[in-house]
Amino acid sequence: MDGEALRRRSARHARPAGLSLHYGTAGFRARAQLLDHVVFRMGLLAALRSRAVPAAVGVMVTASHNPEEDNGIKLVDPLGEMLHPSWEEYATQLANAEDQDLEKVITEICQKAAVNMHKDALVFIGRDTRPSSEKLSQSVIDGILVLGGQYHDYGLVTTPQLHYMVCCQNTQGQYGKATLEGYYEKLSKAFMGLIKQSHSSGESQRHLKIDCANGIGALKLSEMKPYFPQEVLIHIYNDGTKEKLNHLCGADFVKVHQKPPVGLDMKPNERCCSFDGDADRIVYYYKDATGHFHLIDGDKIATLISIFLKELLAKVKQNFTMAVVQTAYANGSSTRYLEETLKVPVHCVKTGVKHLHHKAQEFDIGVYFEANGHGTVLFSKAAETKIRQLVKEEKDDEKREAAKVLENMIDLINQTVGDAISDMLVIEAILALKGLTVQQWDAIYTDLPNRLLKVQVADRRVIDTRDAERCAVTPPGLQEKIDALVKKYKLSRAFVRPSGTEDVVRIYAEADTQENADALAHEVSLAVYHLAGGTGAPPQP
């Protein structure tokens, strides 16, 4: 390591005094003007991580569904998964180090993680459409080069596309070609393979309106349009040419506000969906004949995919293990439907994609979605090998056809991470194959009314939880209070958890009616305010 070059280069990316940031599930996020030193240092870290593994790694410059003024950065591990937790700590240390201590901190990381600086380093870089992203990705490149690493800049890509590229590179092309064309070709070929087996009814079935949150999803969907079959007519809204990224639109806005995005004109019973700013989340929705808005979130997406996969598994007659992984935010009706009607095991884990992904890896087929629309399906190596073998060798027509559908599903799903484009194609294929309308899909089960609230507190760390965040261990007396409140309402439950990013406590409540869910959420928020050090005025109903 050339200490002099590091000092010179790092002086151009000085750390603002007193700024401290933490690498969480979403990497680093902050106002864009505060991030130059952080992204430079993540270029350094990526060069170290690549040598440690040793393999190509990724760096994505994005703040996903945050406002346009924000930005962020996250690292991607060799198989397209999120950065290993032990390296999240190194990321935080490096980002917060004093300028003069950088060399020392890098040396410490090299010792702890056994980094061989003589190995080659290769980093793939991608960025979203924010005005600040291009300059920040240049700073990442600065960091990679100062430690003698090589890079490939993919420029404007969705977050899941970058994850995909990294995985392709490190599986020597087994997962696919590490190019955008390779991504479009793989997905469209699998999608066409599925669609041609469907006997879809009527022209109206194939129209889909997509709100792209004025983000990268619009650019990439437009590029992919020539690869789609004529039967699929996608209409892109909020394409970023007129309005600001994520402003009154996108998957997060639609989910939180339970209403359609601005900029998309909905007619009754039209199928619509929204991506988030970096296209790794998707939710569907429609308006019924009376003008009432219906949201179809991640829970219902997981349920649709599970129904479809379960039918196929029954036909191939293999004893594959299958499970759905959820968080405590999953609607109680979805959990009940999956366990009691579909007879699919459901596992609840802590909030955060890495926890869901990790649990889903324990099964031959693991379906995971957060209610916010981020999710995917994982297939074990053994299951994938067996399915591909059945396609080639199975004599029984029904078994072979079912295996062929499963094989196309494996190729259509981006197993590295939640991917709005891939998930959208999976959903569209399933609806066509099953001949379902969006209303029939919505009617599989009825969501229990629920309410999300947050309470400002002096220090979020006073709340500690267990049982996948469904039970509060501290402060004393809080869980007992919640239990007593829950007993007052039918079909009810409630839980509280500290935010991962700010000093607020998040509250979730559901009950038999919206009025009761709202009342329960409010009463729980008062309990949090009084027992966990709320700040400002007490919560109002």
Catalytic residues: 64
What are the backbone angles phi and psi of residue 172, rounded to the nearest 5°?
50, 40
Residue 500 among known ligand-binding residues: yes
**246 annotated ligand binder:** no
**Distance (Å, whole) CA 25 – CA 417:** 13
Strands of 493-498's sheet, edge to edge? 450-456, 504-510, 493-498
- Binding site annotation covers 501? yes
The answer to whether 200 is annotated as binding is no
**Rounded to an integer, what distance in angstroms lies between the CA atom of residue 283 and that of residue 297?**
5
Helix segments in 413-502, DSSP class H: 420-434, 438-442, 478-486
Q: How far is CA 335 from the centre of its chain?
A: 20
d(CA 152, CA 174): 20
Listed as own residue / partner, the contacts of 530-537 with beta carbons closer than 8 Å and 24 or more positions apart are 531/475, 531/477, 531/478, 531/481, 532/455, 532/457, 532/462, 532/463, 532/475, 532/478, 532/505, 533/457, 533/458, 533/459, 533/462, 534/455, 534/456, 534/457, 534/458, 535/456, 535/457, 535/458, 536/456
Terminal Cα-to-Cα distance of the chain (whole angstroms): 59
Encode 82-119: b = buried (16+ Cβ within 10 Å), e = exposed: bbbeebbebbbbbbbbeeeebbebbeebbeebebeeee
CB atoms within 10 A of CB 48: 23
506 annotated binding-site participant:
yes
Element containing residue 124 per DSSP (H, E): strand 122-127
Whether 280 has a binding-site annotation, put simply, is yes
288 is in an annotated binding site: no
Cis peptide before 475 (omega within 30 of 0): yes
Q: Which residues pair with 127 in a beta bridge?
A: 61, 156
Is the separation of the CB atoms in 281 and 414 below 8 Å? no
Among positive and negative, which fits the CA dihedral 346, 352, 355, 360?
A: positive
Is 306 annotated to bind a ligand? Reply is no
> Tokens 């406002």 label which residue?
67
Find out whether 384 is annotated in a ligand binding site. Answer: no
- Binding residues for Mg(2+), by number, are 64, 276, 278, 280
Binding-site residues: 64, 276, 278, 280, 370-372, 497-501, 506
Residues marked as binding for substrate? Answer: 370-372, 497-501, 506
